[in-house]
Amino acid sequence: MEPRILGLHHITAITNSAQRNLDFYTKVLGLRMVKKTVNFDDPSTYHLYYGDESGSAGTILTFFPWEGMMAGRRGTAQATEIGYSVPEGSLDFWMKRFDAHGITYNKPSEKFGEKYLTVLDPDGMKLELVVSKTPDPRTPWTTDEVDASVATRGFHHVTLTLASIKGTADVLTDIFGYKLIEQHVNRYRYATDTVEGAALVELVEVPSEKRGHVAAGSVHHVAFRVKDDAAHAHFRQKIAAKGFNVTQQIDRDYFHAIYFREPGGVLFEVATDNPGFTVDEPLAQLGTGLMLPKQHERLRPQLEATLPKLDY
C-alpha cells in the first residue's frame, strides 16, 4: 500500500518570552513540556516542545523563544489559527479559567457545526478550543487543575490564511491525499481519513488582505506526519516531482524532517514518527533536562550559563 500522510505531526511557532510561554502552555492550558532543547540552527535560543504524555504526533506544539522579539502580524501566507480538540461541555471551564488568569478570549462561536472558543496566547497567537462533531479518542495529559473531562486532546485543525487557496489546495489534495469536505463562504475545510485526530486543515482565502509578518506570536511552520523513513522518502520524491524545492532529510533527533514552501507562502515540513521523544530521556522524565543535539553538546557549559533559567 502506498504511504499516506497521517495528519498533522507538529506545529512550530515563535514567542518572545520563554518563561511566559512555559507558564501559559503548561500551567494554564495544561500541556506537558515534553522536551527542552535548543534551536538546531541557533543554539543560543531554546526550542520548547509541549504535548501529551509521550509527545504523540498530532499533539506537539513547539516554540522558538527569541527573547524580546517584535510582535508578528497576522495576514496572508501564514498559518493563523491552531485548533485544539476539547470535550463536550468543557468550554465553560475554559472561560472561567481564562478569566482567572487574565487571558484574552472571545465568547464561544460555531463553524462547520462545531462550537469553539478563540483565545490568544501571551504573544497574541490565536488558538481555538473546538468541541469536535465526533468524539476524540485520544488520551489527554492531565494536571491537578485540568482533568480529563476538560483537557485538550491534541490538534483539531490548523488554519492557513492565503491570498489564493488554489496552489495550497493542490498540495493538500494531489500530494498529501486530503479531500475538501466542507466550505463556508471563503473558508474551506480539508481532511485526511488516515487518523482520528489532527486530521483537518482549513484554508481561508482573502485576496485583498496584506501579507503577514512572521515574528513573535506567529506560526513558523506546519509539519505533516508520516510513519517512517520509507514513507518520508516517498513523499520527498513526490514533492520534488511537482517542482518544489524540497530539502534533503534532516535529522532533528526526535524525528526526521524535510521542508518546502507551498505556493501560498507557508513553510511546510514532513516529519517522521521515528525515533520519538524517549530517545534521550525516559518517559517519566520528559522535558526535565536540557537535551542538546550532539553537534551542540560541546556548547553545554556556555548554554547552561546564558539560556534563561526556567521556573517549572
Who's near 131: CB < 8 A, 6+ residues apart? 86, 87, 88, 89, 90, 91, 114, 115, 116
Q: What is the pTM of this model?
A: 0.97
**Per-residue model confidence as pLDDT tens digits over 24-65:** 999 999 999 999 999 999 999 999 999 999 999 999 999 999
What confidence category does residue 193 fall into, taking pLDDT thresholds of 50, 70 and 90? very high
CATH class of the domain at 8-306:
alpha beta
- pLDDT band at 238, cuts 50/70/90? very high
Write the Ramachandran bin of 287: left for phi over 0, alpha for psi from -120 to 50, otherwise beta: left
Q: What is the 3-state secondary structure (H, E, C) of the chain?
A: CCCCCCCEEEEEEEECCHHHHHHHHHHHCCCEEEEEEEECCEEEEEEEEEECCCCCCCCEEEEEECCCCCECECCECEEEEEEEEECCCCHHHHHHHHHHHCCCECCCEEECCEEEEEEECCCCCEEEEEECCCCCCCCCCCCCCCCCCCCCCCEEEEEEEECCCHHHHHHHHHHCCCEEEEEECCEEEEECCCCCCCCEEEEEECCCCCECECCECCEEEEEEEECCHHHHHHHHHHHHHCCCCCCCCEECCCEEEEEEECCCCCEEEEEEEEECHHHCCCHHHCCCCECCCHHHHHHHHHHHHHCCCCCC
pLDDT score recorded for residue 241? 98
Q: Of all residues in the chain, what percent carry a pLDDT higher than 90?
A: 98
**Residues 130-168, buried b or exposed e (16+ Cβ, 10 A)?**
bbbeeebebebbbeeebeeebbbbbbbbbbbbbbebeeb
Q: What percent of the chain has pLDDT over 70?
A: 100
Report the pLDDT averaged over residues 233-239.
Answer: 98
Block residue for cell numbers 538546531 = 40
pLDDT tens across 130-180, in order?
999 988 999 999 999 999 999 999 999 999 999 999 999 999 999 999 999
Q: Residue 155's closest CA among 192, 109, 185?
A: 192
Contact call for residues 42 and 61 (beta carbons, < 8 A): no
Residue 47 confidence (pLDDT): 98
- Residue 312: band (very low, low, confident or very high) from pLDDT cuts 50, 70, 90: confident
